[in-house]
Structure 1
Amino acid sequence: MQGITKTFGGVRALRGVSFDIHAGQTYHLLGENGSGKSTLIKIISGAQPPDSGVIEVRGVAHQALDALSALEAGIETVYQDLSLFPNLSVAENVALTAQLVSARGQLARPLSWSKLREVAATALERVGLPITPAFLDAPVETLPIAVRQLIAIARGIVSRASLVIMDEPTAALTQREVENLLAIIASLQQEGVSVLFVSHKLDEVFRIGGQVIVLRDGSKVADGPLSEFTPSSVAYQMTGKTLEETHYRTAAPSQEPLLEVSGLTRAGAFENVTFTLHRGEVLGITGLLDSGRNELAHALSGVRPADSGQIRLAGTAAELHTPRDGIRLGIGYVPEDRLAEGLFLDKPIRENIMVSILKRLTRGPRLDYARATADTTQLSKDLQVATPSVMLPVGALSGGNQQKVMVARWLAIGPKVLILHGPTAGVDVGSKDALYRIMQNLAAQGLGVLLISDDLPELLMNSDRIGVMHRGQLTRIAPVAELSEASLTAELLEVVPVGPAPQVGGAV
Structure 2
Amino acid sequence: MASEPLLQVLGVHKRFTGVHALRGVTLAFERGQIYHLLGENGCGKSTLIKIISGAQPPDEGELVIDGARHARLTPLESLAAGIETVYQDLSLLPNMSVAENVGLTTELAEHAGRLARTFDRRALARTAERALKAVGLPGDADFQATLIEQLPLATRQLVAIARAIASEAKFVIMDEPTTSLTQKEVTNLIAVLGQLRAQGVTVLFVSHKLDECYAIGGEVIVLRDGQKVTQGPITNYTKAQLSELMTGRELSTERYRNVAAQADVLLDVRGLGRTGLFRDVSFTLHRGEILGVTGLLDSGRNELARALAGVAPADAGEIVLEGRAIKLSTPGDARRARIGYVPEDRLNEGLFLDKPIRDNVITAMIASLRDRFGQIDRTRARALAENTVKELQIATPDVDKAVQSLSGGNQQRVLIGRWLAIDPHVLILHGPTVGVDVGSKDIIYRIMQRLSQRGIGILLVSDDLPELLQNCDRVLMMRKGRLAEEHHADGLTEAELYRALLAEAA
* Aligned mates of 2:386, 2:490 — CA distance in 1: 39
- Match for residue 397 of structure 1? 406
* Aligned mates of 2:211, 2:467 — CA distance in 1: 12
Is the aligned partner of 1:298 residue 2:306?
Answer: yes
Aligned-CA RMSD value: 1.3
Is the aligned partner of 1:100 residue 2:114?
Answer: no
Which secondary structure does the structure 2 equivalent of 1:134 belong to? Answer: helix
- Match for residue 326 of structure 1? 334
- Match for residue 229 of structure 2? 221
Q: Which runs of 5+ in 2 are unaligned?
A: 1-8
- Per the TM alignment, residue 86 of structure 1 is displaced from its structure 2 partner at its CA by 1.9
- Per the TM alignment, residue 482 of structure 1 is displaced from its structure 2 partner at its CA by 5.5
- Match for residue 370 of structure 1? 379
* 478-487 vs 344-353, greater mean Cα deviation: 478-487
For residues 129-170 of structure 1, the C-alpha deviation after alignment (integer angstroms, 9 at most, x for no partner) is: 123333222222232221121111111221211111111111
Runs of 4+ with >6 A deviation = none
Q: Is the 8 A contact 1:490 1:496 kept in 2?
A: no
1:287-366 correspondence to structure 2 within 5 Å: 287-363=295-371, 364-366=373-375
* Aligned mates of 1:158, 1:286 — CA distance in 2: 33
- Match for residue 429 of structure 1? 438
Q: Is the 8 A contact 1:214 1:222 kept in 2?
A: yes
Which secondary structure does the structure 2 equivalent of 1:242 belong to? Answer: coil
Which secondary structure does the structure 1 equivalent of 2:311 belong to? Answer: coil
* Aligned mates of 1:438, 1:181 — CA distance in 2: 32
Kindly provide the amino acid, as one letter, of the partner of residue 88 in structure 1.
M
Q: TM-score when scaled to structure 1? A: 0.96
Kindly provide the amino acid, as one letter, of the partner of residue 90 in structure 1.
V
Is the aligned partner of 1:236 residue 2:244?
Answer: yes
For residues 264-310 of structure 1, the C-alpha deviation after alignment (integer angstroms, 9 at most, x for no partner) is: 11111101011101111000011111111111111000000011100
* Aligned mates of 1:465, 1:139 — CA distance in 2: 39
Q: TM-score when scaled to structure 2? A: 0.96
Is the aligned partner of 1:480 residue 2:484?
Answer: no
Which secondary structure does the structure 2 equivalent of 1:23 belong to? Answer: coil
- Match for residue 173 of structure 1? 181
- Match for residue 387 of structure 1? 396
Aligned sequence identity (%)? 57
* Aligned mates of 1:181, 1:50 — CA distance in 2: 31
* Aligned mates of 1:308, 1:245 — CA distance in 2: 41
- Per the TM alignment, residue 115 of structure 1 is displaced from its structure 2 partner at its CA by 2.5
- Match for residue 506 of structure 1? none
For residues 202-223 of structure 1, the C-alpha deviation after alignment (integer angstroms, 9 at most, x for no partner) is: 1111221211111100011111
* Aligned mates of 2:478, 2:471 — CA distance in 1: 18
Is the aligned partner of 1:417 residue 2:411?
Answer: no
- Match for residue 275 of structure 1? 283
* 264-273 vs 487-496, greater mean Cα deviation: 487-496
- Match for residue 252 of structure 1? 260
Is the aligned partner of 1:6 residue 2:36?
Answer: no
1:30-109 correspondence to structure 2 within 5 Å: 30-109=38-117
Kindly provide the amino acid, as one letter, of the partner of residue 105 in structure 2.
T
* Aligned mates of 1:109, 1:259 — CA distance in 2: 57
Q: Is the 8 A contact 1:333 1:419 kept in 2?
A: yes
* Aligned mates of 2:15, 2:349 — CA distance in 1: 30
Q: How many residues align?
A: 497
- Per the TM alignment, residue 173 of structure 1 is displaced from its structure 2 partner at its CA by 0.9
Q: Is the 8 A contact 2:107 2:116 kept in 1?
A: no
* Aligned mates of 1:227, 1:107 — CA distance in 2: 44
- Per the TM alignment, residue 496 of structure 1 is displaced from its structure 2 partner at its CA by 8.1
